[in-house]
Chain A
């Protein structure tokens, strides 16, 4: 009982420390480009936190999360620009709608497992992408929606620059993290982890594994949708290209790099991959003059393979283990002078 409380306090202390760091950063960084990278990291973190609940805790894979991200972005974009709905209402509508869609498509596809499930989610992602491309009247087609997506505002405060938007995104990202943390340490979270541990045993204890998988799938879709809405109001222009297969894969890579079954993994994984992707954009053309965006996927592939082979628990867990090993050796060295 005591250990349990101690663990809980440590968790809370870490979250508090991290919050402090996050909210002092924008005052130290004056370069707008760096700030915008941090905003994107925040948005992606929200998606990946949800994806980690699904992948790390429930042990189910999704190669279609960019579709939910896109559904959120387009719901917000279309409702606010074409129908003049309030942005916050549109964000909520996107979240609820995407959650329901995820739940409904989850009913048939969660009859599948592993590779088959991965393929089914990938197929769903492709379908949504095609719809975004082809429903020109609704979505603007390949050229997207460029007119009339407003900035978000809180009361009279319009979040029209990186500095202001940064705070909103990171408040929501931290909220996403805290809520996910709540789920992990709850009855539902334990049920999810038990599915990962042994689905057979979980069922024998009365855990309705199918239902819980569906619920967490829907929850992770809601996370992605909220992030998509934020993206739409941040960039104020949306086109289908950021919501394709490449982005879905990127999300999975971020989740795996950070480490699946850790609540800190997402922030870490997203930061590493986003910063790397941004640097690649700069350095790739210097190395290979004709290189375009398609070279990124090669790098993601290599990273994924290397991580899977050498750090199957992800970067976060590997670093924690390395630190514990270092501390252990140091203590040993102190004992035997």
Chain B
């Protein structure tokens, strides 16, 4: 069953085709990687899928709903969560509070409830804390809960972004270069976490440069080059695809 379908997606900035005529689909439960050289349009593709800006052409369907021109927060509330290539941790909050923001769409307290926190509001609040601590435990940050988010080392801030994103209980999780800047043991932990999430039924699309990790964990890859889709297939197919090898290594590399 198709969870996400992207059809003929094009995005131009001025005269530059950042993404051009890209189509692919992702089924429930898959782990799919989008790879390509720098500037291939991977992050632009993520931004289009999460409604950061509307595409110039093409459509995006999520669970058969057209989400092409929805604003970011609506896309999120349908069940698509993401992390960022450049960390977007809330520096002004604690680690726990960061994850608690992830529970936003799964809780209801409005402004009136916030001003006058009666019993039901307090019950909801403690549920938010409880499930947020669960997500922190999953990403190995349980003992950092009360620390200021920006006091964490880089690798843990990346984990925090994942914890925050999965607090939303997404159906689809987009990870933008999750392994970048991680050491080898942190990368191991990341792989374990990704498997755990997949086992929980979360479909994952990731952008990643660490080829070893990508080839190990993904079911399928989509290769972009200069905004175009160059190839699509299993890790084995991609590793043996002549065009992909040329794009990465150049003609002389062969």
Q: How far is the CA of A295 from the CA of B91 in the complex (A)?
A: 39
- Report whether B111 and A261 are in contact in the complex, using a CB–CB cutoff of 8 Å: no
Enumerate A182-235 residues with CB–CB distance to B below 8 Å.
182-183, 186-191, 193-194, 196-198, 200-209, 215-216, 219
Size category of the binding interface on chain A: 20 to 34
Label chain A's interface by main secondary structure.
helix
Q: Which one of B98-106, B225-233, B234-242 is at the A interface?
A: B98-106
Option from B102, B114, B133, B164 in Cβ contact (under 8 Å) with A188? B114
B contacts with A, residue count (CB < 8 A) = 45
A203 to B72, Cβ gap below 8 A?
Answer: yes
Asked if A14 is at the interface (CB within 8 A of a chain B CB), the reply is: no
Minimum CB–CB distance from A212 to chain B (whole Å) comes to: 9
Cα–Cα, bound, A215→B111 (Å): 7
Q: How far is the CA of A76 from the CA of B222 in the complex (A)?
A: 65
Per the 8 Å Cβ criterion, residues 26-61 of B in contact with A are: 50, 52
Q: A186-B114, A188-B109, A194-B101 are in contact. Are A208 and B73 (CB under 8 A)?
A: yes
Most buried by A among B71, B92, B146: B92
Do residues B129 and A205 form an inter-chain contact, with CB atoms below 8 A?
no
A289 CA to B84 CA in the complex, in Å? Answer: 60
Pairwise interchain contact B101-A219, C-beta atoms closer than 8 A: no
Residues of B within 8 A of A189 (CB): 114
Residues B115 and A197 in contact, CB atoms below 8 Å apart: no
Are B114 and A204 in contact (CB-based, < 8 A)? no
A179 touching B92, Cβ below 8 Å: no
Nearest opposing residue in chain B for A57, CB measure: B92
Q: Which residue of A lies closest to B121 (CB)?
A: A186
Q: Which parts of A223-263 form the interface with B (CB within 8 Å)?
A: 261
Is B135's CB within 8 Å of the partner chain A?
no
In the complex, are the beta carbons of A186 and B129 less than 8 A apart?
no
The reply to whether the CB of B200 lies closer than 8 angstroms to some CB of chain A is no
A293 to B6, CA, bound (A): 64
Interface: B224 (CB within 8 A): no
Say how far A196's CB is from chain B's closest CB, in angstroms.
6
Query: Which residue on B lies nearest to A190, using beta carbons?
Result: B101
Q: Is the CB–CB distance between A187 and B128 below 8 Å?
A: yes
A1 within 8 A of B: yes
Which A residues are in CB contact (< 8 Å) with B195? Answer: none
Cα A190 to Cα B50 in complex, Å, equals 22
Contacts of A4 in B (CB 8 A): 96, 129, 146
Q: For residue A212, which residue of chain B has the nearest CB?
A: B111
Per-residue interface assignment for chain B, residues 72 to 86, with 1 indicating a CB less than 8 Å from any chain A CB and 0 otherwise: 110011000110100
Please, which residues of chain A bring their CB within 8 A of the CB of B114? 182-183, 186-189
A4 vs B115: C-alpha distance when bound (angstroms): 20
* Inter-chain contact B82/A204, CB cutoff 8 Å: yes
CB contacts (< 8 Å) of B109 on chain A: these are 186-188
Q: With both chains docked as a complex, state the minimum distance between the C-beta of B241 and any C-beta of chain A, in angstroms.
A: 32
CB distance from B95 to the nearest CB of A (A): 12
The 4 closest A-B pairs by CB, nearest first: A197-B90, A206-B76, A186-B114, A201-B88
28 contacts between A and B (CB under 8 A): A3-B145, A3-B146, A4-B96, A4-B129, A182-B114, A186-B109, A186-B121, A187-B108, A187-B128, A189-B114, A193-B90, A193-B93, A197-B89, A197-B90, A197-B92, A198-B88, A201-B88, A203-B71, A203-B73, A204-B72, A204-B76, A204-B81, A204-B82, A205-B81, A205-B165, A209-B73, A215-B111, A219-B115
